[in-house]
């Protein structure tokens, strides 16, 4: 009688497991597929409409803002909505950004993939023209912080602007037209304050040296 030896015993049958290398490759492929799917969904959510030029709408917006040096949020909204309807763009939205509703004036921009017209607070062309003159005057004379602030305040007040601030802080922005940067720096080094710009349609920034 002969019995089976250990080496002759049959191994139990079962599923063959893939090698570690193949399992790793499968995981990588699945992760890549998931990432591609996620990117496709994100792209679909971001670009809802074709990103194509809108020359007719751009011209209509230019016409709205050409009618006045300063247009309020409510007036701009009504005028833009009428232009959108006339052009067959009634499905577009008008969205004011922070500060636009209370701003003296606004300006507008298009975000074509979302079919949105965005309103931003703006100083108005009359204020921009006056501040250009202020910038030139501050470069013509050497005014300290208090005198430069008074000049800006008096000009804006004369235009009927009341909701504004003049900032001349040492940690504030520094800037100048590219073709005048050296002249601006020399003026500041001499102890004078210069005009930097206006933010949010109401905050005027000056640049100068502090004691």
Range 68-85 average pLDDT: 95
> What string of H, E and C letters represents the secondary structure of 138-167?
HHHCCCCHHHHHHHHHHHHHHCCCCCCEEE
Confidence class for position 48, pLDDT limits 50, 70, 90: low
Instruction: Answer yes or no: do 111 and 77 share one domain.
Output: yes
Confidence class for position 39, pLDDT limits 50, 70, 90: very low
31 or 196, greater pLDDT? 196
Give the SS3 label for residue 93.
strand
Radius of gyration of the chain (CA): 32
Q: Is residue 18 domain-resident? A: no
Domain boundary among 75, 96, 122: 122
Residue 5 has pLDDT above 80, yes or no: no
Domain boundary among 96, 122, 148: 122
Instruction: Note the pLDDT of residue 88.
Output: 94
Tell me how long the chain is: 211
19 or 61, greater pLDDT? 61
Residue 123 has pLDDT above 80, yes or no: yes
Instruction: Answer yes or no: do 141 and 203 share one domain.
Output: yes
Boundaries of domain holding 107: 55-122
The percent of residues in the chain predicted with pLDDT above 70, rounded, is: 77
Residue 25 has pLDDT above 80, yes or no: no
Q: Is residue 24 domain-resident? A: no
Residue 203 has pLDDT above 70, yes or no: yes
In the chain, the number of structural domains is 2
**Model confidence over 159-201: pLDDT tens digits?**
988 889 999 988 889 999 999 999 999 999 999 999 999 988 8
Whether the CB-CB separation of 204 and 164 falls below 8 Å is answered with yes
Q: Is residue 113 domain-resident? A: yes
Distances (CA, A) of 27 to 16, 21, 30, 32, 39: 18, 10, 5, 9, 18
Instruction: Answer yes or no: do 149 and 202 share one domain.
Output: yes
Instruction: Answer yes or no: do 192 and 132 share one domain.
Output: yes
Q: Is residue 88 domain-resident? A: yes
Domain boundary among 93, 122, 151: 122
Instruction: Answer yes or no: do 137 and 203 share one domain.
Output: yes
Instruction: Note the pLDDT of residue 162.
Output: 87
Distances (CA, A) of 39 to 31, 32, 46, 53, 153: 12, 11, 10, 25, 51
Instruction: Answer yes or no: do 172 and 105 share one domain.
Output: no
């Amino acid at each position: 009688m002969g019995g089976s030896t250990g080496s002759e015993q049959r191994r139990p049958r079962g599923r063959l497991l893939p090698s570690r290398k193949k399992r790793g490759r499968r995981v990588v492929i699945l992760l890549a597929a998931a990432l591609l799917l996620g990117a496709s969904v994100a792209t679909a959510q971001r670009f809802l409409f074709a990103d194509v030029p809108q020359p007719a709408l751009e011209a209509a917006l230019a016409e709205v803002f050409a009618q006045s040096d300063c247009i309020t949020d409510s007036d701009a909204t009504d005028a833009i909505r009428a232009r959108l309807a006339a052009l067959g763009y009634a499905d577009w939205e008008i969205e004011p950004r922070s500060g636009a509703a209370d701003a003296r004036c606004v300006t507008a921009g298009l975000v074509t993939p979302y079919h949105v017209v965005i309103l931003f607070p703006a100083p108005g062309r009359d204020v921009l023209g006056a501040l250009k003159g202020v910038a030139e005057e501050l470069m013509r004379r050497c005014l300290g912080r208090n005198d430069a602030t008074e000049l800006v305040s008096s000009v804006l007040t004369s235009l009927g602007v009341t909701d504004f601030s003049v900032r001349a802080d040492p940690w504030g922005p520094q800037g100048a037209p590219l073709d005048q940067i050296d002249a601006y720096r020399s003026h500041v080094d001499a102890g004078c304050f210069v005009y930097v710009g206006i933010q949010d349609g109401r905050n005027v920034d000056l640049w100068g040296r502090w004691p």
